[in-house]
Structure 1
Amino acid sequence: MKKKISKILYIIGIIALIIGTIDPLEGSVVIAGGSVLIVIAAYLLKDTLRKLFLTSMIMILIGVTIMFYLSSLGGIGGSSSLSMYWGLTILPYPIGWLIAIITIIYKIVKRSKNKK
């Protein structure tokens, strides 16, 4: 039963990561939630890549938090008092997302090779 629930959480997390990319700004909460679900599933399944998923989740959460904070200050660039360089502080969000997607693809490829 635990394994079945973990797989469901994993699939929902992957779907959330993909759906959130439709609008990365508004979907950041969906992406963050999906990464949390993937980490929970990875730990329940004792996945060998769980630390990589955890790292990507932490990066996503940090980046999203900073993005919301900068948004509460009025954004960056343009008529804002913050320069565009403050956008570099958001980089953990897309990098963490990319790490999660690459890890998921790696798992799928590895599993398909093991089945042959």
Structure 2
Amino acid sequence: MAARVLWSRILVALGGIGMALGAVDPVEGSLLILLGSALVAFGLFLGKRERPVLLYSLWVLVLIAFGVGALFALSAVGGIGGGSGRSMWWGVLILPYPIGWLMALVGAMYLLVRYLRDRRRAPHP
């Protein structure tokens, strides 16, 4: 196995584990999820995956980064709702974060199903 493919698989696996561990507490684990999505995107880039798969992982990374940035920005100014003086509608800015995480989960399932399907179809030596 080429070193590039090996590193690609290691980075994707570590990123996926990081994203799963960060999901235990999405607010405290947001940086772990962001780092995990970056590792997955970089691992897919190293593995020279198909262009649509790579673009999908980059969209996931951008959505998560925007949502986590909004989460931290809103936390820095005192949050939303309650006595903060900001409407709960400001929470819409955080929505790309869970949407990106769910897209990552769907993408991982798609790649796993495709890998298992292709492995079953491959001729045995």
- Match for residue 86 of structure 1 among 90, 98, 105: 90
Higher relative CO (Cα under 8 Å, sequence separation at least 6) belongs to 1
TM-score normalised by length of structure 1:
0.97
- 1:22 match: secondary structure: coil
Q: Which residue of 1 aligns with 2:123?
A: none
Q: Deviations over 1:67-105 (max 9, x none)?
A: 100000000111111111100111110101111110010
CA RMSD in angstroms, aligned pairs only: 0.7
> Which runs of no fewer than 5 residues in structure 1 stay unpaired?
none
The 5 A counterparts of 1:1-116 are 1-48=3-50, 49-116=53-120
The amino acid of 2:78's aligned partner reads G
TM-score normalised by length of structure 2:
0.90
Matched pairs, number: 116
> Which runs of no fewer than 5 residues in structure 2 stay unpaired?
121-125
| Deviant stretches of 4+, over 2 Å | none
Deviation at 1:33, TM superposition (A): 0.1
Deviation at 1:6, TM superposition (A): 1.4
Deviation at 1:50, TM superposition (A): 0.9
Q: Identity across aligned pairs (percent)?
A: 40
The amino acid of 1:50's aligned partner reads L
